[in-house]
Amino acid sequence: MPVTLKDIAQQVGKSVTTVSRALHDFDDVSPETKAEVRQIAEELGYIPNIHAQRLQKQRTDTIGFIMPTYGPRFSDPFFSEFLAGIGNQAANLGFDLLVSTRPPGTMELKAYQKNVSSPRVDGFIIVRTRQQDQRIKFLSQMEIPFVAFGRMLDHDDYAYVDEDGGYGMELITCHLADLGHKRFGYLDAPAEFMFGHYRRQGFLDGLKDNKLEMDENLMVTGDLTQRAGYQLGLDLLTMEDPPTAIVACNDLMALGVISAAQQLGLEVGNDVAVTGFDNIPLAEHCHPPLTTVHQPIYQIGEMVCEMLIKQIRAEPIEQEQIILQPSLMVRQSSIGTNNQTKSGI
Amino acid sequence: MPVTLKDIAQQVGKSVTTVSRALHDFDDVSPETKAEVRQIAEELGYIPNIHAQRLQKQRTDTIGFIMPTYGPRFSDPFFSEFLAGIGNQAANLGFDLLVSTRPPGTMELKAYQKNVSSPRVDGFIIVRTRQQDQRIKFLSQMEIPFVAFGRMLDHDDYAYVDEDGGYGMELITCHLADLGHKRFGYLDAPAEFMFGHYRRQGFLDGLKDNKLEMDENLMVTGDLTQRAGYQLGLDLLTMEDPPTAIVACNDLMALGVISAAQQLGLEVGNDVAVTGFDNIPLAEHCHPPLTTVHQPIYQIGEMVCEMLIKQIRAEPIEQEQIILQPSLMVRQSSIGTNNQTKSGI
DNA sequence: TTGAAAGCGCTAACAT
DNA sequence: ATGTTAGCGCTTTCAA
């Protein structure tokens, strides 16, 4: 049987009201009463009933995160790290985290609606913004608090954090151009993802900066998995006039390309350059280590969470829209080895 | 302003009670009333207040999942897939999923306590069982519903799903012994993890099956990351009498070992055999593809979630303790290539 | 400094 | 077939 305010009130010989105020440290309660109430509450192991509190306060102190999932084999290192970021920050700030999983579409939107109307959550964190993002349209229109990881093209009056993927990709492209590459392959993301759009644009801008042309046949699209990267890598590298550098819009696909190249007997970094984007932990310790752009996912999770909670609490926010400047991580997958390691141990 | 039963009652001209019963399809409400109530509820967009319901029903219809996280760079593919499994199943069965993140320890235990006392959740899903698992002790003792992914040695009267990691590792070891390997390296998990214990035991059993000895110097421990695998792989392979086969207790470390071997100019599969455990999606499309044991994480997530909800609902359960038989995935990292690919495209 | 009373929105026991 | 009443545990006026 859970301990209630009533139980404490009986023990102390005061009213429920007084006990409630004592526990909240109101200043119209005598110090003696406060001390006694606190002591008894402690002894009894009192924990407030959260539903009674929420029903009364009309607030949930909970944020919602609806993970867009596709098939069952859903293993994206992005999500665990991001989740750790928002989870830790939410705990710091005294919020709960309610997680749902839905494939993008109608049911997903319904989940947003239901979670806020019930009301299970006070606001949402959105990830992987999409073209014509229904989630953002809906939440904006209903004036429901939310913060997104990612921008949109046609809509800019909402809170977000994003990395400047265009700039990051420009860095990569210029890096490869500096190495003398002229013929590029590009592994694009499905068109719906905004991050793919910015990264692709940055890549094309990078080419333009260097007065290079893109062969449209070398621009291919994959579902962001290593499997897709592997397949597309094979496709590109077995063309009659293959690219000398392959730029993937994320690390997972880049790793697939590396496998494909090695499968074909090519030495990545020397025979063909491969680059990724995200700097997932795997990127550093694969072989060869992957040249990529760092994206601080954990920190972005923390930032987004904090911004959302401030928004919910109607606290002032320094900056509602944050674009992080990325940094390039140059590793052997683009610059190759100087053959020291090749020559032997 | 959210729509309440009262609003509907006013519109329909009936009492709140009747409306409630109509919406719950009780048979002591006239069909006409039901129809009218439903229609108005629909029009008004009525969604029940979850806190009022939960306060009244003394149930939360929510399950808790407290992710054990360590440092910030927490990127374990295990968690996103597992989360998708429990998330989807919970949604199917009408339950919410409350996620917290805590490093193992006292605060973690407090989180269990608080979440169930508030009461935010009806029960928990536990992952990565540990030696002397405080979580399991606590929940068992308090008779709080929970289901674990993983067994324990000293405690067996709780519900769990686990894969027979010992058997899986025996399969791997025998496979390698069949290939003629006699000198093995082993990358162990930190001692606290039960899964590491079973897998190590299976490995040693496998050696015994084949009348092989283990050189204790080749038994090393890592933190399950690719980085650790890389470092330990370098250590093992640069010994004066290095192992010819390296068995890692998880895929991530095995991938690190592969990188280390390649860094040293060795051809994995031919010069040295490397194996993993888990069959994460990466295992199939790395180079060379990784020999490993499949672990159906998504399905385990579903199973564990369903078992927990049955337990909460006090429904009969077919089997309270499930051990899955694993299957071996033989790939090139152990058997090598027939040099067709090496010879050219 | 404290308490009585009302109410958050819902369900359920008990009338009628 | 429907309504009245009470109560889940808490917070918050308003009085005393």
Q: Which nucleotide is nearest to A18 (CA to C1')?
A: C2
**Range name among A339-343, B95-99, B225-229, B274-278 with the lowest pLDDT average:** A339-343
Exposed (0-12), middle (13-18) or buried (19+): which is B104, by Cβ within 10 Å? Answer: middle
Q: Which residue is nearest to nucleotide C11 (CA to C1')?
A: B56
Cβ(B218)–Cβ(B188) under 8 Å? no
The pLDDT value recorded for residue B338 is 64
Write the single-letter amino acid at A55: L
Q: Which residues of B122-157 are buried (b: 16+ CB within 10 A; e: fewer)?
A: bbbbbbbbbeebebbeebeeeebbbbbbbbbeeeee
The bridge status of strand B245-248 relative to strand B219-221 is unpaired
A298 with B74: Cβ contact below 8 A: yes
Strands A273-275, A245-248: pairing is parallel
- Cβ neighbors of B44 (< 8 A, separation 6 or more) are B3, B7, B8, B11
Could you tell me which chain A residue has the CA closest to the CA of B100? A87
* pTM (two decimals): 0.93
- Contact residues on chain A for B255, CB-CB shorter than 8 A: 282, 285-286
Query: Which residues of chain B between 54 and 73 are close to nucleic strand C, CB under 7 A?
Result: 55-57
Gyration radius from chain B CA atoms: 26
Tell me which nucleotides of strand C come within 7 A of a protein CB: 1-5, 7-13
Position A169, amino acid: M
Q: Please give the C-alpha separations between residue B195 and each of A268, A284, B74, B130, B206, in angstroms, as whole numbers.
A: 36, 27, 19, 8, 16
Pairwise CA distance, residues A220 & A190, whole Å: 10
Residue of A75, A102, A285 with shortest CB distance to B226 = A285
Question: Residue A23, CB, less than 7 Å from strand D?
Answer: yes
Q: CB-CB: which of B51, B99, B264 is closest to A99? A: B99
pLDDT of residue B344: 33
Q: A243: which 2 tokens?
A: 């690219």
State the pLDDT at residue B232. 98
Using a CB-CB cut-off of 8 Å, the residues of chain A touching B99 are: 83, 87, 97-99
Considering only the beta carbons, identify the residue of B75, B265, B343 that sits closest to A345.
B265
Whether residues A230 and B285 touch (CB distance < 8 A) is answered with: yes
Q: How far apart are CA A139 and CA A116, in angstroms?
A: 10
Which residues in chain B have their CB less than 8 angstroms from residue A299's CB?
Answer: 72
Q: Measure, in angstroms, how far nucleotide D9 C1' is from residue A9 CA.
A: 13
From residues 96-155 of B, list those within 7 angstroms of strand D by Cβ. Answer: none
Q: Which of chain B's residues have a Cβ under 8 Å away from the Cβ of A118?
A: 47-50
Q: What is the pLDDT of residue A294?
A: 96
Which of B181 and B69 is assigned the larger pLDDT? B181
Measured in angstroms, what separates residue A110's CA from nucleotide D2's C1'?
34
Q: In terms of Cα–Cα distance, which of B135, B186, B181 is closest to B158?
A: B135
Q: What is the pLDDT averaged over residues B124-136?
A: 96
Q: Is the pLDDT of residue B342 over 70?
A: no
- Chain A residue with CA closest to B262: the answer is A287
Nearest CA in chain A to B83: A101
Residue B228, token pair as written in the block: 């650790």
Mean pLDDT, residues B250-264? 95
Q: Is the pLDDT of residue B249 over 60?
A: yes
Tokens of A240: 């009659």
Angle of helix B16-23 relative to helix B5-12, nearest 10 degrees, comes to 100
User: For residues A294-327, b (16+ Cβ closer than 10 Å) or e, as one string?
Assistant: bbbbbebbbbbbbbbbbbbeeeeeeeebbebebe
Task: Identify which of B102, B130, B275, B104 has the alpha carbon closest to the alpha carbon of residue B195.
Answer: B130
pLDDT range class, residue B92, cuts 50, 70, 90: very high
pLDDT at residue B69 in the model: 86
Out of A47, A225, A262, name the one closest to residue B287 (CB). Answer: A262
Query: Is beta strand B123-127 parallel, antiparallel or unpaired with respect to B62-68?
Result: parallel
Window A13-72, strand C contacts by Cβ < 7 Å: 13-18, 21, 27-30, 32-33, 52, 55-56, 58
pLDDT band at B1 (very low <50, low <70, confident <90, very high): confident
- Largest pairwise CA distance in chain B: 89
Instruction: Reply yes or no: is the peptide bond before residue B190 cis, omega within 30 of 0.
Output: no
Does residue B275 have a pLDDT over 50?
yes
Q: Which nucleotide is nearest to A6 (CA to C1')?
A: D9
Q: Give the CA-trace dihedral at B285, B286, B289, B293, to 10 degrees.
A: -80
Measured in Å, how far apart are chain A's first and last C-alpha atoms? 68
Assigned token pair, A80: 């665990």
* Nearest C-alpha neighbor of B229 from the set B214, B210, B248: B248
Separation in Å, CA of B285 to nearest CA in chain A: 6
- At B119 the pLDDT is 96
First to last CA, chain B: 67
Give the per-residue SS3 of chain B.
CCCCHHHHHHHHCCCHHHHHHHHCCCCCCCHHHHHHHHHHHHHHCCCCCHHHHHHHHCCCCEEEEEEECCCCCCCCHHHHHHHHHHHHHHHHCCCEEEEEEECCCHHHHHHHHHHHHCCCCCEEEEECCECCCHHHHHHHHHCCCEEEECCCCCCCCCEEEEECHHHHHHHHHHHHHHCCCCCEEEEECCCCEHHHHHHHHHHHHHHHHCCCCCCHHHEEECCCCHHHHHHHHHHHHCCCCCCCEEEECCHHHHHHHHHHHHHCCCCECCCEEEECCECCHHHHCCCCCCEEEECCHHHHHHHHHHHHHHHHCCCCCCCCEEEECCEEECCHHHHCCCCCCCCCC
Specify the pLDDT at position A72: 63
Q: CB A119 to CB B50 under 8 A?
A: yes
Q: Which residue has the tokens 């280590």?
A: A289
pLDDT attached to residue B86: 96
Stretches where chain A sits below pLDDT 70 are 71-74, 338-345
Measure CB to CB from residue A80 to each of B48, B76, B342 and give the nearest one: B76
> Are A179 and A334 contacting, i.e. CB atoms less than 8 angstroms apart?
yes
Quickly count: other Cβ atoms within 10 Å of residue B38's Cβ.
16
Residue B113 predicted with pLDDT over 50: yes
Convert the pLDDT of each residue in B37-67 to its tens digit: 999 999 999 999 999 999 999 999 999 999 9
- DSSP state letters, A91-117: HHTT-EEEEEEE-SSHHHHHHHHHHHH
Contact (CB<8Å) B99/A101:
no
Beta carbons of B88 and A97 less than 8 Å apart: no
Q: What is the mean pLDDT of chain B?
A: 93
| Strand C close to B17 by CB, under 7 A | yes
Residue with tokens 């102190």: A61
CA distance linking residue B228 with residue B232, whole number of Å: 6
What is the pLDDT, as a whole number, of residue A154? 87
Rounded CA gap, A99 and B229, in Å? 32
Number of C-beta neighbours around residue A169 at 10 A: 26
SS3 label, residue A79: helix
Confidence (pLDDT) at A185: 98
Which of B158, B53, B57, B58 minimizes the C-alpha distance to B117?
Answer: B58
The residues facing B328 across adjacent strands are: B293
Q: What percent of chain B has pLDDT over 90?
A: 90
For residue A55, say whether its CB is under 7 Å from any atom of strand D.
Answer: yes
Q: Mutation test of the interface with chain A: which of B46, B62, B285, choosing the one with the most A Cβ atoms within 10 A?
A: B285
pLDDT exceeds 90 at position B341: no
Which residue from A218, A209, A217 is spatially nearest to A177, judged by alpha carbons?
A209
